[in-house]
Structure 1
C-alpha cells in the first residue's frame, strides 16, 4: 500500500513536471505546439490538452499590461455603470483647454473601425467636435453606408451653414453614401412657423428617412451654446436659456434639452426646433456621443444616465469623474 501511494506521488510529480515543461516551452520560449510535440515525442493533441490543464492548474496566468494612454478598465467601468454599448476614453493632457483635437481623433478611429457596411448614418449639424472628427476620418475603400442624413436644420448664417453642409457632405463622400440635407433652420421664431415648414413635402421625406437610421453621431451640448452654434443663428437665446435653466435643463442632444437625470425638459423652445424628434432619435440602435471638458460634465452625465447616447467618446478626466 505504501509503495502504491509513493508510486502515485511520483506519477503526479512526473505529470506536473511535464505540465510545467510544456507550459514553459510554449509561453516562455515561444515554441509552437508541433515543435513541442516533436521535441518531447508526444502527440500535438496531447500538447494542447497539457497547455489547457496548465492554465486550469494555475501554472499559467495571463496578465494584460495596458500601454500608456490606453484606459480599457475605465471604459469597461463606464459601460457597466451606465449600460453603454461602448466607451472610448482619451487622454487630453497635452492639449490644455482644447479637448476637441484628441476627442475628434479618438472618435474618427472608433468610427473608422465600426462603419462596416449598410449603415444609415444620422449626424447633428452644429458640432465643432463632429466637424473635426469627420475631417480626421479616413476615406473608406468601399461603400460602408447607404445614406448620411442631417438630424437638425442646417440653415443659418452663411459662414456657419458652410460648416454644417460640409459636415454632412464630407461624411457621405468618405463612406460613399448619399447625403440627405434638411434645408431649413434648426430653430424658428414660433411653433406655428415650425409646424407649417414641417408640412413641406421635401421635409416630410427627410422625416420619414429618420426612421431608417442605424447609427447617429452627435455632440452633447451644455446650456450655453458652442461658438459654432452661436454663430449659426440657431442658438438658444438668452430668454430661452433662462426658461430652460428654470426648468432644470443641463444639456442637450440635437437641441432636445434634458435635466440632470436625463429626463426631457418640456419647454417652449423645444416646440420651435426643426429636427429629429426625441422618440425617433432614442429608437436608433447605436447613438454615439462625442464630448468632453469640464464645462460639459453635467450634460454628459445626464446624457448617458438618460439613455440619449449609448456609445460615449470622452476625455480621461470626465471618465474618472463619471466613475467616481
Structure 2
C-alpha cells in the first residue's frame, strides 16, 4: 500500500496503475468510456468513477491554455485589485492608431451578451468612444431594455448635441427601448440658472428616472478633453481634478473635488449614479491612465473595458 501524493488515502499500486491507465486512455488517447470499459472488462459506471477518482487523487490536472489575444488572468487581477464586477481587456494591434475602434468593438460584443432584458440603460451620450460602441452594437431580436436615458444634458456644439440625441435614439432602437432625453444643456452659466432649470417639470421627470437606471454606460474623461471652458479647466487643475464621469470630477484618489463647475452641471447626481448596479466604463489609452486609475480607486465604475497596456499599468 502507498499513500498518494495528495494525501487522499492509502491505495494499492495496482489500483493506482488502473487509475493511470484509464485516465491516459480517456484524456490522452481520446478513447470513449464505453470503449475503455470493453477493453479493460470493466463496467462503464466503474470507468466513470475511476476517472473522477483520478482527478481527486491528482493524477489528472486540468490546464487551460489561453488563446492569443485573450487576457483572462489580467482581467481577473483587475477585478480583485479594484473590486470590479467584471473587466474586459482588449489587445490593440497597433498602438500608433487610435485605441477607440478596438475598445468599441469589444465593448459592443460585451453589451450584446450582457443586455438580457428589463434594463434601464443610462448613457453619457457625448462620448466619442460610446458613439463608436453604439455604432457597432448589433440589432437585438427581442426587447432587452425598458428605457435608454440620457445621463447629462447637451454639451459641446449644436452638432454635438444633435449627435448625442441621435445616439440615445439609436441605442433605444437597437434594444427596443423607450428613449428618454434631457431637454436642457448639460452646463449652464451660473449655479442660480441651474437651480431655476431644475424646477422644470420635464427635467423633474427625468431626475426621477435617473434613480431607476440599472446599467450606466459611460466614458472616463480628463480636464484637458472635457467639454468645459478654459477657466473651468484651470480651476479643476488647481483643486487636483484628474478625471471625470458624467462631468463629476475627482482627484487622483477618486474623491470628488469641489468646484464652481459642479454647481452648474445638469445631469445625474453622484448619489443616484453610485446606486446604479452596473456602471460600465469604456476607456483606454495611456493618456487617460491617471483618470482611469482614479475612477477605479474611487469606485465610480465597477465594470471596465480597456486596452492591454492600460490594464498592465493598472495592475503593476
Per the TM superposition, whether the score is higher than 0.5 is yes
Match of 2:84 in 1: 84
**2:234 aligned with 1:242:** yes
Count how many residue pairs are aligned between Structure 1 and Structure 2: 308
Does the 8 Å contact 2:155/2:187 carry over to 1? no
Ranges in structure 1 where 5+ consecutive residues have no aligned partner: 227-234
Where 2:12 maps in the other structure, the secondary structure is helix
1:116-265 matches, within 5 Å, as: 116-154=116-154, 156-225=156-225, 235-265=227-257
**C-alpha distance in structure 2 between counterparts of 1:16 and 1:220, whole Å:** 57
**C-alpha distance in structure 2 between counterparts of 1:211 and 1:39, whole Å:** 65
Superposition deviation, residue 17 in structure 1 = 2.0
Match of 2:5 in 1: none
Does the 8 Å contact 2:242/2:290 carry over to 1? yes
Q: TM-score, normalised by structure 1?
A: 0.91
Match of 1:230 in 2: none
| Cα 1:127–1:14 shift into 2, 3 Å | same
1:36-55 matches, within 5 Å, as: 36-55=36-55
**C-alpha distance in structure 1 between counterparts of 2:156 and 2:70, whole Å:** 39
Does the 8 Å contact 2:241/2:249 carry over to 1? yes
Where 1:302 maps in the other structure, the secondary structure is helix
Match of 2:32 in 1: 32
- Identify the structure with the greater helix proportion: 1
Q: TM-score, normalised by structure 2?
A: 0.94
Deviations 1:174-216 (A, max 9, x none): 1111111111111000111111111111111111011111110
Does the 8 Å contact 2:152/2:268 carry over to 1? yes
Where 1:94 maps in the other structure, the secondary structure is coil
Q: Of 288, 291, 298, which residue of structure 2 is paired with 1:299?
A: 291
Deviations 1:34-74 (A, max 9, x none): 33334333233322221111112221111111111111111
| Cα 1:31–1:141 shift into 2, 3 Å | farther
Ranges in structure 2 where 5+ consecutive residues have no aligned partner: 3-10
Q: Which moved more, 1:29-38 or 1:291-300?
A: 29-38
Superposition deviation, residue 110 in structure 1 = 0.8
Superposition deviation, residue 155 in structure 1 = 5.8
Where 1:18 maps in the other structure, the secondary structure is helix
Where 1:92 maps in the other structure, the secondary structure is coil
Superposition deviation, residue 305 in structure 1 = 0.5
Where 1:121 maps in the other structure, the secondary structure is strand
**C-alpha distance in structure 1 between counterparts of 2:228 and 2:37, whole Å:** 71
**C-alpha distance in structure 2 between counterparts of 1:255 and 1:103, whole Å:** 21
Deviations 1:54-102 (A, max 9, x none): 1122211111111111111111100001100000111123252411000
**2:276 aligned with 1:284:** yes
Superposition deviation, residue 156 in structure 1 = 4.9
**C-alpha distance in structure 2 between counterparts of 1:158 and 1:34, whole Å:** 71
Where 2:184 maps in the other structure, the secondary structure is coil
Match of 1:94 in 2: 94
